[in-house]
A = this chain, B = another copy of it.
C-alpha cells in the first residue's frame, strides 16, 4: 500500500527536523514542505503534531530495540555482544537524535506522554535495558561479572557510562573503541595494583 510509504516519508522528514530544532520551533508547514506532501496529508496519518512527534521518537527506538535484541541472541562471547550493541546504539544516536530520549527517559518530555503511548515508550526503554540485562544475567552465571550489583543496575550503568564516554568520541565508534570502553566498564577506573595486574596476563 502506498500509504505506508507516505507515512514513512513524513516520519523521516519530521525526524530530521525534530532532531535539529525544538518541538515548538518545528512547524507543520516545515514538516510538510520537507516531506514534499500537502499540509492536510499529514493529518491523514497523525492526529496532531504531538502524535507525529511521538511517532518519530518511538519509531527510532523501536528499530534500535530490534537490532539490539538480535545482537543479544547471537552466540558470541558476552563482551563481543556488548560491543556490538554499543556500536549500534552509537550509530542510532547519530542517525536519529531522538533515540537519545531512550537513554534518559527521565526527561520531562517523556514523563508527560499520555496514556498508552507513554507506556509504549517506556516499554522501549525497558526493552533495551532488559535485553542488556539478559546478557549480564548470563555473564553472571558464567562468573564473568560481579554478583553484588543487580544486573539491571549494571545495564543502566553501562548505558549511562557509555553516554558520557562516547560524548568525546562523536566521530566514529568501532570495535576497537568499544573494547577500550568495555575495559573501563569491566575493570573499573581504579588503578591496577601489581598483583591484580598479574591476574590478567
Q: How far is the CB of A181 from chain B (nearest CB, A)?
A: 8
Name A's interface SS.
Answer: helix
> Which chain B positions have C-beta within 8 A of A136?
189
> Which chain B positions have C-beta within 8 A of A160?
160-165, 167
Q: How far, in angstroms, from A151 to B184 measured CA to CA in the complex?
A: 12
Q: How far, in angstroms, from A112 to B107 measured CA to CA in the complex?
A: 18
Nearest to A190 among chain B residues (CB) is B186
Nearest to A19 among chain B residues (CB) is B108
Q: A residues engaging B (CB < 8 A)?
A: 18-24, 97, 100, 103-104, 106-109, 112, 136, 143-147, 149, 152-154, 156-165, 167-168, 180, 184-193, 195-196, 198-200
